[in-house]
């Protein structure tokens, strides 16, 4: 098991290296001048030149690249070109909000999605099934930012039940602030997980061992949960991993619509302003999460399905 884990971690290093290199190249290819973005379009040539020198933007690209990689190895991601704040500080300030939002959305999505899938599968072609399928269709079709705005207008502006923006300070206000953004992200998760659970469960419920369990007189609830759902968990686990990744990426739009702090909002601003160091640091955080989630999924496979362990 430890060897398996080490091998997987070893695979992650070239992936992260590749991501960092691609981001570095992509940002330099993208038109736009960080000095101009920082100092404004009325800045004079000498001000721009001095800014580039101060921020190390005037050295050759290969040197900037090695400076950047050297910094990453020592966990020094540089400073924001715009605010001069260390990138690590910016990430540390924003990451908890994104993690909090992602986990809340996942929790909501799981709590709503899996029981919905079970309900649909156990009532195949009946009204609850049709309802869940319709919900899934809407969930897939509706974009995050649109749903977010809709919820914001209805529940925050018109009904006044929730705050319009921010993330809150104490525990109670943080819970209050996170509800609508998490619900926005959870809507799609629930649709996806509901549909996935339905399909997986239906497939399992048609298997011989389920028929055998029923023939042996096992209670229907036991058949569905112990024999059915437990065996349907492998594809659902994959779905959970994918959901987690899409929730993380979806947080970008939601943080913007709900004006919540977070890595997504930090990145959007940094990209618009060509704040290279922040973009590189922010993307690295996302990449590390993707790698870790994939690793987690691999480990869960091993636990859920012993056949993976053998192979």
Partner 1 sequence: MALNRRSFLELAAATTALTAIGVQASHAQDADTLRIGIAANGPRHSDPNLTTQGSDNWATEQMYEQLVRPDDGRFALTPEEYLPTLATEWTQSEDAKSWTFKLREGVQFHRNYGEMTSEDVVFSFERAIKEGTNRTILSNIESVVATGPYEIAITLKQPDVNLLGTSIFNNNTSIVSKKAYEEIGGEAFATDAVGTGPYELVQFDPEFGTRLKRHEGYWGDKAKIANVECVYIADTTARTLALLAGDVDIIEAVRAPGWIDSILQRDPTLKIDMTTPGSFNTLHINLTRKPFDNLLVRQALMHAIDRPAVAAALAPMGGVMAGLQPDFFPAGFKTEDLPAELQYPYDPEKSKALLAEAGFPNGISFDSLCSQREDYSSTMLIVQELIRPAGFNMNLIIGDHTAYHADNRSDKNTLAMHSSSYPPIPTQIYFQQLASASEVKSDGSGGGNYSHYGVAMPGIDDLLNQALTASDYETYLDLCKQIELQVLRDLPLIGLSTLGFTAVRSAKVDLGYEVESGYARWRFHRATKTV
Among 21, 63, 165, 212, binds partner 1 (CB under 8 A): 165
Among 19, 68, 78, 94, binds partner 1 (CB under 8 A): 94
Find the shortest distance in angstroms from Cβ 281 to partner 1: 14
Exposure string of 241-250, with b = 16+ CB inside 10 Å and e = fewer, is bbbbbbbbeb
- Cβ atoms of 196 and 90 within 8 Å: the answer is no
Number of CB atoms found within 10 A of residue 94's CB: 21
41 binds partner 1 (CB under 8 A): yes
| Residue 70 CA: distances (Å) to CA of 90, 135, 233, 274, 276 | 19, 49, 43, 21, 15
Among 24, 68, 162, 187, binds partner 1 (CB under 8 A): 162
32 binds partner 1 (CB under 8 A): yes
Single out the segment in contact with partner 1 by CB under 8 A; choices: 159-167, 211-219, 284-292, 303-311.
159-167
Among 95, 99, 234, 268, binds partner 1 (CB under 8 A): 268
Return the number of the residue (94 or 231) whose C-beta is nearest partner 1: 94
Q: How far is CA 285 from the centre of its chain?
A: 11
Find the shortest distance in angstroms from Cβ 225 to partner 1: 10
Number of CB atoms found within 10 A of residue 114's CB: 23
| Residue 188 CA: distances (Å) to CA of 28, 126, 138, 145, 169 | 34, 23, 9, 12, 27
Output the six-digit token pair for 6.
């080490």
129 binds partner 1 (CB under 8 A): no
Among 177, 189, 198, 227, binds partner 1 (CB under 8 A): 177
Site string for partner 1, 64-83 (x = CB under 8 A): ------------------xx
Among 45, 74, 208, 310, binds partner 1 (CB under 8 A): 45
- Bridge partners of residue 79, in order along the sequence: 86
208 binds partner 1 (CB under 8 A): no
Return the number of the residue (63 or 85) whose C-beta is nearest partner 1: 85
Among 61, 69, 175, 303, binds partner 1 (CB under 8 A): 175
Which residue is listed with tokens 């897939």? 140
Provide φ and ψ at 217, rounded to 5°: 90, 15
Among 138, 157, 292, 303, binds partner 1 (CB under 8 A): 157
Q: In angstroms, rounded to a whole number, what is the distance separating the alpha carbons of residues 218 and 232?
A: 18
Single out the segment in contact with partner 1 by CB under 8 A; choices: 155-163, 185-193, 231-239, 292-300.
155-163
Among 84, 134, 137, 211, binds partner 1 (CB under 8 A): 84
Output the six-digit token pair for 171.
């525990």
160 binds partner 1 (CB under 8 A): yes
Q: In angstroms, rounded to a whole number, what is the distance separating the alpha carbons of residues 286 and 300?
A: 21
Burial of 195 (0-12, 13-18, 19+ CB in 10 A): buried
Among 259, 294, 297, 308, binds partner 1 (CB under 8 A): 259
Residue 269 makes CB contacts below 8 A (sequence gap 6+) with 275
Half-sphere exposure at residue 257, Cβ-oriented, CA atoms within 13 angstroms: 23
Among 1, 2, 44, 310, binds partner 1 (CB under 8 A): 44
246 binds partner 1 (CB under 8 A): no
Number of CB atoms found within 10 A of residue 170's CB: 8
Residues in contact with partner 1 by the rule CB under 8 A: 30-33, 36-42, 44-47, 49, 82-85, 90, 93-94, 97, 111, 149, 152-153, 156-157, 160-168, 171-173, 175-177, 179, 256-259, 261, 265-266, 268-269, 272-274
């Amino acid at each position: 098991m430890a060897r398996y884990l080490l091998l997987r971690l070893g695979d992650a290093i070239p992936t992260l290296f590749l991501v960092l290199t691609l981001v570095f190249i992509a940002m330099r290819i993208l038109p736009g001048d960080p000095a101009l973005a920082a100092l404004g379009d009325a800045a004079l040539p000498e001000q721009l030149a001095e800014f580039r020198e101060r921020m190390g933007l005037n050295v050759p690209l290969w040197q900037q690249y090695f400076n950047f990689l050297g910094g990453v190895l020592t966990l020094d991601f540089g400073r924001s070109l715009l605010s001069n704040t260390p990138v690590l500080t910016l990430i540390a300030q924003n990451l908890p909000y994104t993690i909090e939002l992602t986990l809340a959305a996942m929790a909501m999505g799981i709590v709503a999605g899996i029981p919905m899938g079970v309900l649909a599968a156990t009532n195949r072609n009946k009204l609850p099934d049709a309802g869940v399928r319709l919900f899934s269709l809407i969930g897939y079709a509706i974009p995050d930012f649109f749903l977010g705005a809709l919820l914001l207008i209805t529940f925050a502006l018109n009904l006044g039940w929730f705050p319009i923006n921010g993330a809150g300070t104490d525990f109670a206000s943080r819970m209050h602030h996170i509800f609508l953004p998490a619900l926005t992200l959870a809507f799609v998760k629930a649709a996806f997980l509901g549909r996935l659970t339905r399909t997986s469960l239906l497939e399992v419920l048609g298997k011989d061992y389920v028929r055998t369990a029923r023939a042996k007189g096992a209670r229907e609830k036991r058949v569905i949960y112990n024999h059915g759902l437990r065996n349907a968990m492998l594809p659902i686990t994959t779905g959970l991993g994918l959901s987690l990744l899409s929730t993380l990426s979806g947080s970008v739009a939601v943080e913007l619509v709900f004006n919540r702090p977070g890595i997504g909002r930090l990145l959007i601003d940094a990209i618009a302003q060509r704040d290279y160091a922040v973009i590189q640091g922010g993307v690295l955080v996302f990449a590390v999460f993707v790698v870790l989630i994939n690793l987690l999924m691999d480990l869960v496979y091993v636990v859920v399905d012993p056949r993976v362990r053998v192979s």
